[in-house]
Chain A
Amino acid sequence: MLISGLWIIVTSSLLAISTGLLGCLLMLRRSAMLGDAISHSVLPGIVMAYLLTGQKSSIALFVGAIILGVGVSLMIEFIQKRFSVQNDAAIGLSFTFLFAVGVILISIFAQDIDLDQDCVIYGELAYIPLDLWTTPTGLNLGPRAFWILLALAIINISFVGLAYKELQVSIFDPLFAQATGLHPQVWHYVQVVLVSLTVVAAFEVVGAILVIAFLVTPAATAYLISHRLWSFLGLSCLWGITASIGGYLLAWWSGGTIAGAIALIAGIQFLIVLIISKIAKSKA
């Protein structure tokens, strides 16, 4: 129990780092709900990939999901710019449309498809230690989810670490960035691809609700008390990691779902920090 608990906490923390970083960037771009949009919009991509290839191999479905994930981001932007619709409205109408397309595709062509709703929405962190990655020689390398989320965390940390100044200036002042010859749009699309990649890979492991909670809540909590971009990014990761630990302990103690408990703790963190920062401000 102790070892498997550790795997769950570590895996969840790795996800918290990826989503913590990306969540900050999304929040600064005022599109915090993009992760939500992507996680719903990948459904038709998964169904179409299944219909085209006729197999449930995870690679094909993954590619289908990524294409739709990037697709919905482009669609949102197109609707927003071309028809001057507000960002939140564009997000709402894009992902509900695509999700509906996915549901219709399933009901017409793929009624036999085995989609475990419970698993997709809530995920099941408790199974992480059971799905092990073993080499052909039989060597046990630990949970498969751990390796996937470790790779994602490394990709996201490298992205934010290496392109820190480009991201900072592109998000803060896109006109100035463009005038200096940077391409804010390119950085934006790289980020969108990473959000799609992270959301798709993660929701198979932890479920859509926790991914969305992780993309929004720790960043929102960090934003309350951050005056610098680097501290904003760092605190956001830290809140996600502590929520992972606290959530696991809460679930262990109460016997409830781990993903739900983590999301709950993240929400409580936000409330506490909000109250403390309000009190501190009123005293200052």
Chain B
Amino acid sequence: MILQVENPVVEVHDLTVAYQKKPVLWSIDFTLPAGNIIGIIGPNGAGKSTLLKAIMGIIPLASGQIRLWNFPIKDVRKRVSYVPQRESVDWDFPASVKEVVLMGRYPKLSLFQRPTKKDHEIVKQCLAQVEMLEYENRQIGQLSGGQQQRVFLARALAQEAELYFMDEPFAGVDMASEAAIIKLLHQMRAQGKTIVVVHHDLQTAYEYFDWILLINQRLIASGPKEKIFTPELLQATYGGKLTTLTKIGELLKKKSFSSRKDG
């Protein structure tokens, strides 16, 4: 079940990506609607992070085409923000919270140009939005995992983009940070922004996202969550593992329960 949309924000056509000649993504084809919180779901090694990197033009494509608002990424970089996995950087790097968020302003500055007073003001606003303003002068290594993730999100906000790609923003974060991140995503959606989130936890996926992409090297499904969360599609994504299957059963129970509550 792959639903296509009119006037897509993201359009991926026949995408194949390989690492050292071993394909990790096979002929992926989808379109994504604007103004939604979109989840990319799949098991470990399904190629979720690779998909984001391919869209951002960070890794080479073996074949295929990617358009954002019908432009190639290199023409619209300033309208797009990318939040890498928290573990991908060294948090002992000598920098303060404020300095990391300021990096979100760098793309707006020209080569060798110093940040302006306005940039610093925007940084403060963004830190306030993720409830981290009181930590602005902390060294980033002194923060908890959830706080580090919020700093990354503040940096993304500072980019003032329209489309956000986030790689596992919920991985290893505490409850307070999780709530803060969810609140932030809802605010962003209300402002008409599109947020694409790589997420590995099936338990919470249904609750967090409007639109869901199921991938496991190939694209299994793409569409509104109500249509995607079916036993057949989840099984096709996660394979026939017993533990996963029982989990899916529980999830589906939960889903019918919550939709009954909503209705």
A228 within 8 Å of B (CB atoms): yes
Q: Verify if A55 is at the interface (C-beta below 8 Å from B).
A: no
The answer to whether B82 touches A179 (Cβ under 8 A) is yes
Chain B residues near A227 (CB-CB < 8 A):
94, 96, 139
Q: Does A168 contact B (CB under 8 A)?
A: yes
Contact B109 A223 (CB under 8 A): no
Query: Which of A162, A165, A179, A228 meets B109, CB within 8 Å?
Result: A165
B139: which A residues are within 8 A, CB to CB? 227
Query: How does the 8 Å CB contact mask read for A70-103 relative to B, with 1 for contact and 0 for none?
Result: 0000000000000000000000000000000000
| Interface positions of A from 181 to 204, Cβ below 8 Å from B | 181-182
Nearest chain A residue, comparing its CB with the CB of B115: A165
Q: Does A226 touch B at the CB level, under 8 Å?
A: yes
B18 CB → nearest A CB, Å:
15
Bound form: Cα–Cα A178–B73 in Å? 12
Query: Interface majority SS on A: helix, strand, loop or mixed?
Result: helix
Please, what's the 1-or-0 string for B74-113, where 1 marks a CB less than 8 Å from any CB in chain A? 1001001111100011100111100110010011010110
Name A29's closest neighbour in chain B (CB-CB): B90
Within 8 A of A (CB), among B29-85: 53, 56-58, 74, 77, 80-84
A232→B94 contact, CB < 8 A: yes
Least Cβ–Cβ distance between B53 and chain A, in angstroms: 7
Shortest C-beta distance, A183 to chain B (Å), equals: 11
Find out whether the CB atom of A169 lies under 8 angstroms from the CB atom of B106: yes
Question: How far does the alpha carbon of A88 sit from the alpha carbon of B159 in the complex, in Å?
Answer: 36
Pick from B77, B99, B100, B114: contact of A179, CB below 8 A: B77
A151 part of interface (Cβ distance < 8 Å): no
User: Chain A interface: which size bin?
Assistant: 20 to 34
**Contact A176 B103, beta carbon cutoff 8 Å:** yes
Within A151-191, which residues are at the interface with B (CB < 8 Å)? 162-163, 165-166, 168-169, 171-173, 175-176, 178-182
Q: Which residues of B contact A165 (CB under 8 A)?
A: 103, 106, 109, 114-115
Tell whether, in the assembled complex, residue B94 and residue A180 are in contact, meaning their CB atoms are under 8 Å apart: no
Smallest CB-CB separation from B93: which chain A residue? A172
Instruction: Using A165-B106, A176-B103 as known contacts, say yes or no to A226 and B94 having CB atoms under 8 A apart.
Output: yes
Residues of B within 8 A of A162 (CB): 112
Is A229 in the interface zone, CB < 8 Å from B? yes
**How many interface contacts (CB-CB < 8 Å) are there between A and B?**
74
Cβ distance B187 to chain A, nearest Cβ, rounded Å: 22
Cβ contacts under 8 Å, A176 to chain B: 82-84, 103, 155
Which B residues lie within 8 Å of A180 (CB)?
Answer: 77, 82, 106-107, 159
In the complex, chain B residues whose CB is within 8 Å of the CB of A228: 94-96, 99
Could you tell me if A223 and B84 are in contact, using CB atoms closer than 8 angstroms? no
Interface centre among A165, A178, A181, A223 (most CB of B within 10 A): A165
Set of chain B residues within 8 Å of A168, measured between Cβ atoms: 95, 99, 103
Asked if residues A223 and B94 are in contact (CB atoms below 8 Å), the reply is yes
Q: How far is the CA of A118 from the CA of B22 in the complex (A)?
A: 51
Q: Which residues of A contact B81 (CB under 8 A)?
A: 179
- B56 adjacent to A178 (CB under 8 Å): yes
When distances are taken between beta carbons in the complex, the residues of chain A under 8 Å from B94 are 28, 223, 226-229, 231-232
Which residues of the other chain, B, contact A169 by a CB distance below 8 angstroms?
Answer: 103, 106
Nearest residue (CB) in B for A223 is: B94
Which 5 A-B residue pairings sit nearest by Cβ, starting from the closest? Answer: A179-B82, A180-B107, A227-B139, A175-B84, A179-B56
A-B contacts besides A166-B112, A175-B84, A180-B159, 15 pairs, CB < 8 Å: A28-B94, A168-B103, A169-B106, A173-B88, A173-B89, A176-B155, A178-B58, A179-B81, A180-B107, A181-B107, A182-B106, A226-B94, A227-B96, A228-B95, A229-B93
19 A-B pairs (CB sep. < 8 Å): A28-B94, A165-B114, A166-B106, A172-B89, A172-B93, A172-B95, A173-B103, A175-B84, A176-B83, A176-B103, A178-B56, A178-B57, A179-B84, A180-B77, A180-B82, A181-B77, A226-B94, A229-B95, A231-B94
